[in-house]
């Protein structure tokens, strides 16, 4: 099958049955290969999980070899929101393709992303017609709270992890997101990683893995 987004697929070893999927969304200027590094440790503990790492649907102007989910070259919140919804629609189509190809439901799928990929995961996790198994976001934020509240359809359980020394996306955004989730009756867990800037350290990866194991075992 041809998918609407170029992707890296990391299937279970020894042709094990695919029972779950983790869709990993890279950050601004990155690609599927970057974010696929998370699977190196996780897959040992998730033998029936396929890891899917798509490239953003647009090339990134600041890194021609990388991709973006939405443009950040204009300091215009309305434009950014418009472009992010465009990406969200593309990702929604991609998720439907994944579900059809691997015979999965939303409850079998974890959405996870870093930075801009985290922002997309949060949006898709709340605006989809059916809730996902969970959302795990690293170093991101809610793009537009008013818009997200108006389009919210479901309450996907969410874990947000952020570095306390992040100079790219302030950790204050995690606290703002936590408040949003609580006010809108979405189960939320947050972790602030000490002495961590804008990346995913081993500690954050381990916290995320434990969360996924708990959620997949309960589905």
Catalytic residue ranges: 115, 166, 198
**Can you say whether residue 82 is alpha, beta or left, with left for phi > 0 and alpha for psi between -120 and 50 degrees?**
alpha
β-strand pairing of 7-10 with 20-25: unpaired
Alpha-helical (H) ranges within the chain are 32-35, 39-45, 77-102, 116-127, 145-151, 172-183, 202-217
Q: Which residues contact 209 (CB under 8 A, 6 or more apart)?
A: 41, 42, 45
The side-by-side arrangement of strands in the sheet containing 134-138 is 7-10, 49-54, 20-25, 109-114, 134-138, 158-163, 188-193
Q: Phi/psi zone of residue 113: left (φ > 0), alpha (ψ -120 to 50 degrees), beta?
A: beta
- For 35, the token pair is 């974010």
Quick one: which of 96, 98, 18, 107 has its CA closest to 53?
98
The CA-CA-CA angle for residues 169, 174, 177, to 5°, reads 120
């Amino acid at each position: 099958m041809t998918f609407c987004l170029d992707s890296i697929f990391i299937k279970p070893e020894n042709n094990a049955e695919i029972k779950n999927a983790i869709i990993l969304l890279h950050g601004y200027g990155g690609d599927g290969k970057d974010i696929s590094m998370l699977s190196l440790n996780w897959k040992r503990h998730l033998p029936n999980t396929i890891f899917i790492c798509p490239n953003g649907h647009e090339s990134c102007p600041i890194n021609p070899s990388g991709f973006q989910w939405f443009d950040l070259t204009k300091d215009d919140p309305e434009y950014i929101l418009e472009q992010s919804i465009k990406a969200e629609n593309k990702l929604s189509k991609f998720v439907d393709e994944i579900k059809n190809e691997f015979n999965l439901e939303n409850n079998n799928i974890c959405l996870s992303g870093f930075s801009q990929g985290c922002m997309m995961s949060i949006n898709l996790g709340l605006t989809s017609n059916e809730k996902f198994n969970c959302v795990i976001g690293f170093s991101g934020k809610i793009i537009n709270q008013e818009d997200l509240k108006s389009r919210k359809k479901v309450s996907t359980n969410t874990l947000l992890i952020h570095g306390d020394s992040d100079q790219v996306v302030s950790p204050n955004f995690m606290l703002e997101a936590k408040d949003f989730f609580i006010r809108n009756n979405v189960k939320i867990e947050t972790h602030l990683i000490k002495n961590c800037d804008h990346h995913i350290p081993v500690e954050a990866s381990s916290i995320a893995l434990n969360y996924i194991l708990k959620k997949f075992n309960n589905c």
